[in-house]
Amino acid sequence: MQTRKLRNGVEIPYIGYGTVQPLQRFDDEGMKEFHEVFIAALTTAIECGYRHIDTAQMYYNEADIGEVVGRGIVPRSELFLTTKLDNRIGTYEDTLRSFDESCRKLGTEYLDMFLIHWPNPIHHRDRWQQRNAECWRAFEKLYEEKRVRAIGVSNFRPRHFDALQKTANICPMVDQIRLYPGDASLDNPTLEWCRQNGLLLEGYSPLGLGGVLKEPKLMALSGKYAKSPAQLCLKWSVQKGYIPLPKSTTPERIRANIDIEDFELSAEDMAEMDRLPSVLEDDRDPDTATW
Ligand code: A2P
């Protein structure tokens, strides 16, 4: 799988498998199905070529991922594993402990990337700057000890970076935010901040949670390129220089979503996709979200 280079030279596969699952789809009885569906989908993903898996402590699937990784479909060293810090965690010590716990569940000695999941969680709203500073100090220690190959953040905006910079020794290497064609929040100073400071952008919900796929203009382009609307969205993301993290539990879609290397979108069609309607609510303000 092709890669991109992070600021520290570490190579990251150019597309990843997104693993957040809508838990509300499953009642208590259905949790067994939740795990089974996920394990089958992840197995398919690795078998058909995904080498980059994106999870989080709050996705409740690290142990499932550990189970699949432990089967050794490919060697651990060929996989790029990312997890993200639980919003409830707010201290240096707890960050280190949670990292160990993630490694234990994922069945790995080291992680490829660790991200602060949310810049201003409701649990620490009165001290978010201090919380991020403390957690980041733990991230830097883990990085210096080579327990993690890259460190970064998710859902950060320039004001959160500015606050973090006051105490950080290492600048985050990525920001993972929502990025899909037409997203109103693309008109966002965060993109510029990341460009200027050499952070790679990772895009979650690159298909607008599936909502963008029925847009007539996208369907017309799909005919022109003989590629599905989902493949066009992912190619758009890659050509923008983002790392898309599509989610799917459907085997044919999992396969098709990485079959995007044999075509190129023209500049006009990229611009047309930029102008697609924004199908999701405006992105949630990290400082007022209720989590
Ligand atoms: P499913 O899991 O049933 O395949 P996003 O990546 O933007 O978060 O979107 C995820 C949603 O898009 C899921 O509901 C997923 O459904 C759907 N999806 C993923 N890949 C495709 C595809 N190639 N075609 C249509 N829908 C897709």
Q: Examine the pLDDT at 32 and tell me if it is beyond 90.
A: no
Measured in Å, residue 177 CA sits from the centre of ligand 1 at 17
SS (H, E, C) 89-138: CCCHHHHHHHHHHHHHHHCCCCEEEEEECCCCCHHHHHHHHHHHHHHHHH
Q: Examine the pLDDT at 258 and tell me if it is beyond 80.
A: yes
What are the catalytic residues?
A: 59
The Cα–Cα gap between 18 and 35 comes to 15
The pLDDT score that the predictor gives to residue 283 is 73
Phi, psi at 268, each rounded to 5°: -65, -40
Q: What is the pLDDT of residues 166-207, one digit of tens each?
A: 999 999 999 999 999 999 776 689 999 999 999 999 999 999
pLDDT confidence band for 22 (50 / 70 / 90):
low
Q: Of 21-35, 56-70, 214-228, which range is least confident?
A: 21-35
- Report the atom number in ligand 1 closest to the C-alpha of 250: 4
- Around ligand 1, the residues with Cβ closer than 6 Å are 18, 205-210, 213, 228, 230, 246-250, 253, 256-257
Q: Beta partners for 148?
A: 111
The pLDDT score that the predictor gives to residue 25 is 57
Mean pLDDT across the chain: 95
CA angle 101, 58, 197 (to 5 degrees): 90
% residues pLDDT > 90 (the chain): 88
Strand ranges for 205-259 from DSSP E: 243-245
- The closest alpha carbon to 258, from 49, 19, 12, belongs to 49
- Report the atom number in ligand 1 closest to the C-alpha of 20: 8
pLDDT confidence band for 251 (50 / 70 / 90):
very high
